[in-house]
Amino acid sequence: MEQIKLVEVGPRDGLQNEANSWSVADRIAFINLLSQCQFSEIEVGSFVSPKWVPQMAQTDKVFQAIEKVPGIRYSCLVPNQMGLDAAQEVGVQNISLFTAASEAFNQKNINCSIDESFERFKPLMRQAQDHHLRVRGYVSCVIECPYAGPIMPDQVALVAAKLLAIGCDEISLGDTIGKGTPDTIKTLLTAVCAVVPLQKLAIHCHDTYGNAIDNISMAIKLGIRVIDSAMGGLGGCPYAGGQAKGNVATETVVKTLHQQGFLQDFNMDAMQRASAFVAARKTNI
Ligand code: HMG
Ligand code: MG
């Protein structure tokens, strides 16, 4: 059976939306539990402004202290030069740049236009390539924007193609506010796959309206093999006006994929422990 890669985004996309910031010790313990589950990648945190996202302050300390299990990629979000320098200072090898298919969302989220975000990325990408970092690129609002409404698939394809052109190794398509349906996901992927190879794409579903599993199943049917999810359905984006509720829960994704014959080697006991750890601390509901 073909492999599916799971990217656990709970420690970043999950915890950035928690009402109470988790302590550095809890973030480290959570990631160490996740490392026993056999994810392909774990998003450790982000090197963004702590004034914008206080929950992600001290990601440097978290990154330094976690146990790094060989074979797992430990990645961090980086918005600008200051973030990239801070990430490299502590040895981060896998970074994620993030922009959106919506101008309005980008302004709220990273305080710049889509074009300006690509101007920002140019020197970051040069630096990343000089240091052989792996770079994931995120596109937010691939279906709908909380401020501007529906987004055209061609607009998403344009942004995804630009991320590919500047050298991103993988592009994650974010249904930030969970408005996707299997039909719109299919239309989206048809447009994006015309300009970005399927093997370079990941799907990142928020579960605001309970559609995420159906949307992921459609993406898998169309050949997507990299899925983002968050343990306990933690999360959301603080700049989506309260509409980016939880990420799709890792537990549900794993169960669904298991039923479909994928992820046979996933450590279910370790997942239970990580899941219980989240349940005891979750505050964003
Ligand atoms: P800005 O205010 O335009 O930046 O924010 P600035 O350069 O003018 O700096 C303002 C202050 O921030 C300065 O401090 C800087 O030093 C500091 P001051 O002089 O006022 O004391 N600063 C930083 N501090 C630490 N690390 C940094 C950094 N950069 C500046 N890297 C900026 C621009 C991009 C920094 C800001 O908008 C920001 O941090 N945004 C991050 C927002 C965010 O993290 N959103 C959530 C992640 S995206 C997401 O969740 C979607 C995704 O999951 C996919 C999906 O679901 O769609 C990926
Ligand atoms: Mg997200």
pLDDT given for residue 267 in this prediction: 95
Amino acid residing at 96: S
Q: Is the CB of 22 under 6 A from ligand 1?
A: no
What are the tens digits of pLDDT across the range 235-280? 877 777 776 678 999 999 999 998 888 888 899 999 999 999 999 9
Cα of 193 vs centre of ligand 2, distance in Å, is 21
Domains in the chain: how many in total? 1
pLDDT given for residue 3 in this prediction: 87
| Residues with catalytic function | 237
Cα of 102 vs centre of ligand 2, distance in Å, is 14
| Whether pLDDT at 154 is above 70 | yes
**Where in the sequence is the domain holding 177, given as residue range(s)?**
5-284
Query: In CATH, what number is assigned to the domain containing residue 220?
Result: 3.20.20.70
Q: What is the DSSP string of 105-150?
A: HHHHHHSS-HHHHHHHHHHHHHHHHHTT-EEEEEEE-SSEETTTEE
Q: What is the mean pLDDT of the chain?
A: 95
Nearest of 68, 60, 56 to residue 13 by alpha carbon: 56
Confidence of residue 285 (pLDDT cuts 50, 70, 90): very low
Nearest residue by C-alpha to atom 3 in ligand 1: 111
Q: What is the pTM of this model?
A: 0.97
What are the tens digits of pLDDT across the range 114-142? 999 999 999 999 999 999 999 999 999 99
DSSP class of residue 231 equals G
